[in-house]
Structure formats: structure tokens, C-alpha cells
Amino acid sequence: MAMRAAATAAAPCFAGSRRHPRVRAQAAAPWAGGAEELVRSGAVRAVRPRDAAQAMRAEGYRLLDVRPEWERARAAVRGSAHAPLFVGDEDMGAVTLLKKWVHFGYIGLWTGQSFTKMNDRFLEDVSAAADGEGKDARLLVACGEGLRSLIAVRMLYDDGYRNVAWLAGGFSKCVDGDFADVEGESKLQYATVGGVSYIFLQILLLLRVVK
């Protein structure tokens, strides 16, 4: 419950000018390692989903998707780079198995979230995805809801990347048409939803309760 509350409190909100959206980040610091300060200061640019296509087309940003493979398979922007921040935890030790059992009972069944661990090769994966541009690469970092991409932004900035932008609020804040070329079975804004919750979502979509 505490984890859920922290994640909720860390969700971004926007006010003020269109160019510099504010970020509610008091609770995000333990999760994102102070990345919100980079956004506030302008060291890392926050880009709303509705402005992402223009930033990519006119300013040369490349979309870097840091979601795990199973979310990306559900829906992704065609041609985007991929470097997962978290990967599936395949450890079969007794303690990990117990944690997986608890995770499935309380979270995984309803949300479809797999038990994960930090990708130890994340920075190497980003370097490979940058197509030889190195740390001069212009990367628009994105995830489902904006928190994991904040963590990624902090890691990249600390590693020397200085042309990094953050997709504010993640793909969950997208609407149809923000990204013209989307592949997969789901809408991009719902790709993070899984498990029983995903079944309920499909029913709501069928009934046109949500769009």
C-alpha cells in the first residue's frame, strides 16, 4: 500500500507554461534519484505526448522506450529505440520464489505485472540503441506512466548524456494520434495495463465507457 501511495504521489502534474510543465515530485525523489530536479531546472526537457512528434521530427529526438519487452509487445511506437530499465527476474531461489508468489497474489494477477529486477546492462543497451551517436544522442525517454523513465533520465544524465528529454506522464497520457505509427494489439495509452484489469479495460472499451 505504501508503495502504491508513493507511486501515485510521484505522478506528474502540469501547470504554468506549455514549454516548462511543472512536476509534482516530492515523493518521487527516493524512486527517481532526484531526476525531477533536472526537469525543474531545465537540464532535462519535459515534452508532453502531444508535442513529442514535433520534437522528434523537427529537433531530431529519437524515442527511447524503457518499458520491459512484454509491455512494448502490447503496443509500441514503430521505429523507436528500446532499452528496458527493468527485466524479468528469473532467479529460482527460495526467497525470490516466495516474493514472486506474494507478488502474483497481490499485484500480478490483477495488473499483469511481472516480477522484475533492474537491468544491469541498461546503459550498454542505450549505447547500442543510440546507433553510434554516443552520448551526443538526442533521446526522448519514455515509459508507461513516467516514473521509470524519470529513473532512466537520471541514470543517463549521470552517465554523461546531455541531450536527454523526458516524455512527461508517459504513454498513459497519450491520446490517439499523438504518435502516428503505433504497432501492437493495444492502444499505446493502455499498454501498461495487464492481468484481470486489462480484461475489465477491454470490456469498458467495448461498451465505449472509455476511449
DSSP 69-90: HHHHHHSEETT-EE--SEEE--
Among 10-19, 41-50, 115-124, 188-197, the range scoring the smallest mean pLDDT is 10-19
Mean pLDDT over 73-88 rounds to 92
The C-alpha angle 31, 20, 7, rounded to 5 degrees, equals: 20
Phi, psi of 118 (to 5 degrees): -65, 140
pLDDT at residue 112 greater than cutoff 90: no
Distance CA 161, CA 7 (A): 26
Cα separation, 181 vs 79, whole angstroms:
9
Residue 198 belongs to what H/E stretch? helix 195-206
The pLDDT value recorded for residue 22 is 37
At 132 the pLDDT is 84
Catalytic-labelled residue, pool 130, 143, 147, 167: 143
In this model, does residue 106 exceed pLDDT 80? no
Q: What is the rounded distance in angstroms from the CA atom of residue 138 to the CA atom of residue 99? A: 38
d(CA 198, CA 204): 10
- Is the pLDDT reported for residue 111 higher than 50? no
- Which comes out higher in pLDDT, residue 178 or 116? 178
Which cell numbers hold the place of 31?
524512486
64 Cβ neighbours under 8 A, 6+ residues apart: 80, 81, 82, 83, 126, 129, 139, 140, 141, 142, 152
Helices (H), 80-164: 94-103, 109-111, 122-129, 147-158
Question: Which carries the bigger pLDDT value, residue 192 or residue 152?
Answer: 152
- The DSSP call for residue 35 is H
> What proportion of the chain, given as a percentage, has pLDDT over 90?
48
Average pLDDT over residues 49-58: 96
pTM of model > 0.75 = no
Residue 45, SS3 per DSSP: strand
**Is the pLDDT score of 17 beyond 60?**
no
Who wins on pLDDT, 159 or 99?
A: 159
Over 70: is that where the pLDDT of 26 sits? Answer: no
Active site residue 143: yes
Residues 6+ apart with CB under 8 A from 45: 39, 164, 165, 166
> Is pLDDT at 61 greater than 60 in this prediction?
yes
Q: Note the pLDDT of residue 192.
A: 80
> Does residue 60 register a pLDDT over 90?
yes
pLDDT tier at 162, thresholds 50, 70, 90: very high
- Decide which of 2 and 77 is more confident: 77
Q: Region 85-95: what's the mean pLDDT?
A: 66
- The arithmetic mean of pLDDT across residues 69-93, rounded, is 84
